[in-house]
Every structure is written in C-alpha cells, then in structure tokens.
Amino acid sequence: MAVDVRTISESEFPDWLRACRTGFLQPPAVSGEEVRSRRPHTDLARVQGAFDDGRCVATFRSFAQEITVVGGASLPSDAVSHVTVTPTHRRRGLLSRMMAVDLAAARERGEVLATLIAAEYPIYGRFGFGPAAWATDWTVDVPRAGLDPRWSRPECGGRIDLVDGADVRKLGPELHARFRQSQPGAVSRDERWWALRTGLDQAPGKPPWTEPFYAVYRSPGGEVDGLLVYRADDHWGPAKQPLNTARVDDLIAVSPAAERALWHFLCSVDWVVTVQAEHRGPDELLPSLLPDPRAARITQQADYLWIRLLDVARALEARTYEASGTLVLEVRDQDGLSAGRYRLDASPEGAVCAPASESADVTLDVGDLGALYLGDASAVRLAALGRISEETAGAVAVTEALFRTAVRPWCPDGF
C-alpha cells in the first residue's frame, strides 16, 4: 500500500503528535493534556502527515510568521517546523512531498519567503533553503572579565530594575517590536510566546515552571530599552567558594548603552562566576564590553536561520542596500517556484526588481540567493566555491557591494 501524504484531520492530531515526538527522539506517549494544550494553537490546514496503513509516519507543520529584513521592513513568511520522518520510513521521498505542498501553498498565500531552523545541515538545501543567519554560544569567565567589583549601576545614567512576569508581558512586546525594526533576521513573537515564557501558559511535557529573573534597563529618560531573562544554579565548591553559573534565556536591547548595562549587571551578580548565553548574534558586542575581552569565549558557532525565497522580486525590493548598482540575476530553482531572470536596480534610496530579458550578470541557485538575502553571506566567497557563476566581468563584486551589510543578521528565537 502506498504511503498517503495529506493534511491531517482533527482525529489524527494525537497520532501526528506521537509521530512527531518519535522523530525528535522524545518519549512517544501523548497525553490528553498535551493534545488539549496544543490543538488551539495549531492550524490544521497547515499540518501535514504521511500515513502508512493508517499510522502517521512523517510530520510537517508551518505557521504564519513575520521576519525583519535589511532596512527594517517586515515580510510575511512561512515558518516551517515539526518536520520528522519515522526511522522506518526514511528515504521514501515523504519530506519532499510535504515540502512541495507547503511551499506551493505559501507562495499562493502571498508569503514572500519561507524560514526554518535546520537541525541537520544537508537536508534543506535541496529544497531551495540557504543558511542566512548564524548564532553563537558564549561562556564568560566572570572573575577574569575585570569588571569593577563595586559596580552597582549603569555608568550612562540609566537604571536596571528587577521585574516579574506580568511586567514582562506588558513591557516586552513593545520593546521587541522596537528591537525587530533594527535587527535583520529577527522574527515575530505572538501573545502566546510571551505567555509561555512568563509562566502564564505552560507547554505540556515540560518540567514544572520555575520563574527566572527578569531585569529591564531604563534609559536616563525612563524608557525601557532592554530586557534580560536569566536563571542561576546553586553550586558551591570547597571552602565555601561560590561556583554559580547564570544562563541567559533572553537578552534584547535597542541601544548599545542598554546592552552594555545588562551584560555588566549580569556579570556583577554576587556568587556568579560563569555566564552562559546561547544563540546570540554572530557579531555580539559582549567580549568588547568587558575590560578583558578574552574572558568571553565562543563555545559554539553554527548556521541557524535558513531562508527560501518564494517571491524574488518582492523580496529584493523590500530590503535596503548600502550601495548603488544594477544587476541581472539568473536564479535557478529545481522546484520552479522562483526560477527566472531578474533585473535589480538598487540604491540607498530604494530598489526596483522585475523579471528581465537581458543577459544575466550572475547565475546562482535560489538557496544561495537566500544565504545572501539578509546580508551575511559573501558573494565573493560563494563565487570562489563555484556556487555563483559570473557571466559579466565584475558582477560578483557588484553583488558583494549590494548585498553585504555592516550589521550581521540574527534570529534570537527558535521555532
């Protein structure tokens, strides 16, 4: 019997959850509580499953998302998540079938691009995704950092206040909206995001909720310009020496002063000797904010947010450019969704992009265009790797000048 790939029904949702948990190596049993908790927040019209003799053996889900692009515009995107194939049914093309249905539907809805966080590198390039933003994990040796042990408040005249979850739900969304305007790669956070991360709601199957510490930075004018969420363990060594580690759950700031103040505050908390922060921006200011930058070391750096362009012309017109130039791009797309030749006329004042008939200046796959899109990848490097073909002399240099940005993209959130 052939495996049936389709949008799931209401009654199939528990079996879909079980297959999803199996694919992510989680205990497969699904409780009624989990079904009741997840169902109101799941659009079944965007949930697919593969069924073999009535049993779900592969899962796929997408949801509506907004992503900030270079220059601050926010674009509708198709966020891909919960992708699994049960080990008994690998290498049968199930993911390819589900992905094709989802991307075609997303394009039809008018979503400009698709996004995902890739658990494994080799999978998604063949579907036209490219790694567009990286993330860095940091560990700070606090005693070595060299901060003044008498530090008690920001030098800039602002202040830091500890708040509770209710305050964060009130202050956080507006702060995050401001943060997103200046951070390419940042994605939207809905009301449930804030509820889950402040204990108002709790995803089933997770450990019992324990409230973290919330700290907000207020500018000298009283405006909330930064938010820090952290947790700390209770670890003491011989001779009653504190060996506690503070772990950053979230830190967003809309000014360098706010970022500096929150990092200095955390590295000045009594008994904390180590600070760990995951999924930070690839050009994080953290080490340079410390008297001894070597106190902060990278423990991991890897690709994080992947992008797949669905509407090339709209996407290239939406972002801004730091240089001026004209470029004709031949975009290859084996799935046919974005294939074509496009003329881009760009300048710091704006851009126009439309299908073109003239000869191409560069040829590249849609996945490599996705990697370039937020300004992180280097066209020169991609050309050296054979992934961009220069059809007109000097065109790779023009591509580099147009697409690269001074600020690297960063997506603080997984999904």
295 lies in the same domain as 337: no
Q: Is residue 413 part of a domain?
A: no
Per-residue pLDDT, 152? 86
Domain stop point among 303, 321, 345: 303
Domain stop point among 268, 303, 338: 303
Beta bridge partners of 84: 59
CB 226 within 8 A of CB 217: yes
Domain stop point among 284, 303, 322: 303
287 lies in the same domain as 198: yes
Per-residue pLDDT, 1? 67
Per-residue pLDDT, 166? 97
For residue 299 the two structure tokens come to 């423990």
Q: Is residue 265 part of a domain?
A: yes
CB 358 within 8 A of CB 330: no
CATH number of 22's domain: 3.40.630.30
Per-residue pLDDT, 206? 80
Q: Is residue 412 part of a domain?
A: no
Q: Is residue 112 part of a domain?
A: yes
CATH number of 357's domain: 3.30.1050.10
Collect the ranges in the chain with pLDDT lower than 50: none
Per-residue pLDDT, 293? 98
Question: Which has the closest alpha carbon to 125: 390, 366, 372?
Answer: 366
Per the structure, the count of domains in the chain is: 3
What is the span of the domain harbouring residue 222? 136-303
194 lies in the same domain as 279: yes
Q: What is the DSSP letter of 42?
A: -
Per-residue pLDDT, 207? 84
Rg of the chain on CA atoms, in Å: 23
Q: What is the DSSP letter of 236?
A: B
252 lies in the same domain as 119: no
Global confidence as pTM: 0.95
Residue 303's contacts (CB-CB under 8 Å, 6 or more residues apart) are 118, 121, 131, 133, 134
Q: Which residues carry out catalysis? A: 124, 415
pLDDT tens per residue, range 239-256:
999 999 999 999 999 999
